[in-house]
Amino acid sequence: MIKNLNTDTQIALRDVVPNLITCIPVSIVISFYGAIYLAIVLIGASVLLFIIDLLFLRYTKCGRNRVLKEKRKREEKM
């Protein structure tokens, strides 16, 4: 089949096929680093949400009331 193609196509195929073979491990490595990057982003987002939740507890009226109620309950038990 390749004998019937013109020489430009043969040269192009000769250049592309080894590149395809080397691209497969590169794509695996990129997807591995992509998974690590995604995990870091998700962990960072969960930490950020946790910090926002702590700030909500401390600095909003509703959160302060809840914290005070819990503190009163603890003091009453003692």
Q: pLDDT by residue (tens digit) across 46-57?
A: 999 998 888 877
Q: Say how far apart CA 8 and CA 15 lie, in whole Å.
A: 11
Q: Say how far apart CA 8 and CA 2 lie, in whole Å.
A: 11
pTM: 0.43
**Domains held by the chain: number:** 1
59 lies in which domain range?
A: 2-77
The tens digit of pLDDT for each residue in 57-77 reads 777 777 777 778 888 888 888
Q: Say how far apart CA 75 and CA 78 lie, in whole Å.
A: 5
Which amino acid would we find at residue 47?
V
For residue 66, count other CB atoms closer than 10 A to its CB. Answer: 13
The tens digit of pLDDT for each residue in 1-31 reads 455 556 666 666 667 666 666 666 667 777 8
